[in-house]
Amino acid sequence: MTEPFNAAVYLTERRVAAGDGDRIAFHHPSGATTYAELTDQVRRVAAGLAEHGVRPEERVVLAMADDIDLAVAILATMYLGAVAVPCSTMLTGGELAKLVTDSRARMVIGSPQFAPAVTAAAAAAAEGPDLGHVVLSGPEAPQVPGLVGLRFADLVADEPLPAAYPSWDESPALWLYTSGTTGTPKGAMHRHADIRYVAETYAAQVLGIEPDDVCLSAAKLFFAYGIGNSLFFPLSVGASAVLEPSRPSPQLYGDLVRRHGVTLFFAGPSFWGPLLAAQLPADTFATVRNGISAGEALPPRMYHGVREQYGFEILDGIGSTEALHIFISNVPGKVVPGSSGFPVPGYRVELRRADGSVIDVPDEPGMLYVAGESLCTGYWCRTEVNRAVFQGEWMRTGDTYVRNADGSWTCLGRADDVLKVGGIWVSPTEVETRVLAHPAVAEAAVVGVPDADGLDKPVAFVVPMPGRSVDEDEIVAFCKQELASFKRPRRVVQVDELPKTATGKVQRYRLREAARGLV
């Protein structure tokens, strides 16, 4: 029989037992929470979840701001042996409802600022047999017909759960939804062991994280990148993290770095560029020993600019929701600008040609595959996609890469048409479907176009209805009504017809060529 292992215990009770009870685990808008306080809150909320009918391995969907309640909710769900499903707070009610229904969630917990989306999603899923409760962390309980409405405070039991559920390495702990390589959202299922693995590989062996480190992440907890940065990594060693619910901005995050003495600063290219433009005082980041970047390839100009302007190196890397965090990374003192760096200890990567043969020479591009113990067990209820993406111990990433002569690895782009905008996967089909719902649009095709820094932005090409014309601002506003803001087209281009092959397929490469320079 496998020895019991619960990731929430690993991140909380284990730290208290090691003597870290009085150390600060989280800085957050309402103050600070020590490891002893965090452990007590986790156990009490776990007891509250159980009292309201959540059972081990059932799913709890979390649409919450980055604050102490979300951190506690994730840990408490895992402590109980249930499955935490943090979801993007940028989703509309309809988009969130699809995830609630797909995951067969027993409970949905949201923050007050996202109440409209949370209650709309809960209402849409209420007719199904699974969802029973909807919870908000504010002062008022939500009212959704057919569901029990609670405040988050109602989940804090008088008596803590006596002990964590006796889960083991293979037990399900966390689902993270990703559009990944196929466009439609899929729940990547992670085990309790995966959390320990990313902490003991990337965090320990690349970042060299230590108890005195203070972590700050522009990526939120619902990202695989963010949950590692702000939860798994610091709590694995007794360090602390800064939780900030507001949208990241250079000035705000500069203030947080100063206030809390941040040493590890995580972001992505969509943040590093504005940070350079902000021209903050150079000593703002005096305590930062390393910046970390992921989500998209970091343009070399951002690496050099941050180092020259603010005095610290950015370690760029590539990870994925399926791998839970970064598996190729630059390392301190050995950064190769423009590359993703080198394989993280504990992971194996290789390139394959279209015929499946392995590329073992430098400078020849191929499809990137990765193997490592943190790979998810698969996508929930996605048999066909699982068979295409997961091949034995290997996972097909969907990225085209090249191995350089110095052993570093460089991303050449996606091998398919799915876009990555601000580090988030976006399905062109989803955006096209919304654009086509506008009465003035007859045909639409969405492509990703690199801006001046090489970062993808969605551009929509549309053919108007006969006798009609399209207004760019109107189409963008129309998309924002039903789609998360990052999915909206940055430009809308009216054309007489879309370029197509003889069989009727849109020639997207021609649209990409036509769109260059538009964003």
Q: Which CATH architecture has domain 189-414?
A: 3-Layer(aba) Sandwich (3.40)
CATH for 427-515?
Answer: 3.30.300.30
Distance between CA atoms of residues 404 and 437, nearest Å: 46
- Alpha helices per DSSP H over 210-292: 224-227, 233-237, 250-260, 269-278
Residue 142 makes CB contacts below 8 A (sequence gap 6+) with 110, 115, 118, 119, 122, 134, 135, 136, 149
Q: Does the pLDDT value for residue 321 go beyond 50?
A: yes
pLDDT at residue 517 above 90? no
Architecture of domain 7-168: 3-Layer(aba) Sandwich (3.40)
Q: Which two tokens stand for residue 215?
A: 């972590």
Is 189-414 the same fold as 7-168? yes
pLDDT band at 500 (very low <50, low <70, confident <90, very high): confident
Please tell me the distance from the alpha carbon of residue 379 to that of residue 175, in angstroms, as a whole number: 9
Neighbours of 406 (CB within 10 A): 10
The pairing of beta strand 366-372 with beta strand 358-359: unpaired
Nearest partner of 329 among 301, 307, 354, 298, judged by Cα:
298
pLDDT in tens, 216-238: 999 999 999 999 999 999 999 99
Query: Residue 158: is its pLDDT beyond 90?
Result: yes
Element (H, E) at 136: strand 133-136
Residue type, position 353, single letter: R
**What number of CA atoms fall less than 13 Å from residue 100's CA on the CB side?**
33
pLDDT at 127 exceeding the cut of 90: no
Task: Please give the angle made by the CA atoms of 303, 309 and 314, to the nearest 5 degrees.
Answer: 30
Distance between CA 239 and CA 222 in Å, rounded? 20
Using one digit for the tens of pLDDT, what is the confidence trace for 280-316?
998 999 999 999 999 888 888 889 999 999 999 999 9
Per-residue confidence at 442, pLDDT binned at 50, 70, 90? confident
SS3 of residue 176 by DSSP: strand
Domain ranges of the chain: 7-168, 189-414, 427-515
Measuring CA to CA, which residue among 292, 228, 304 is closest to residue 266? 292
Per-residue confidence (pLDDT) for residue 424, from 0 to 100: 79
- Mean local confidence (pLDDT), 95-101: 95
Helix axes 250-260, 269-278, angle to 10 degrees: 90
Mean pLDDT, the chain, whole residue set:
93
| pLDDT given for residue 501 in this prediction | 61
pLDDT value of residue 432: 87
pTM score: 0.87
Give the ranges where 423-482 is alpha helix by DSSP (H).
Answer: 428-436, 472-482
- The 10s digit of each residue's pLDDT in 379-391 is 999 999 999 999 9
Could you say which DSSP state residue 344 is in? P
Give per-residue pLDDT as tens, 382-423: 999 999 999 999 999 988 899 999 999 998 877 766 677 877
**Integer Cα distance of 215 and 240 in angstroms:** 6
* pLDDT recorded at residue 416: 66
Of 506 and 359, the structure prediction assigns the larger pLDDT to 359
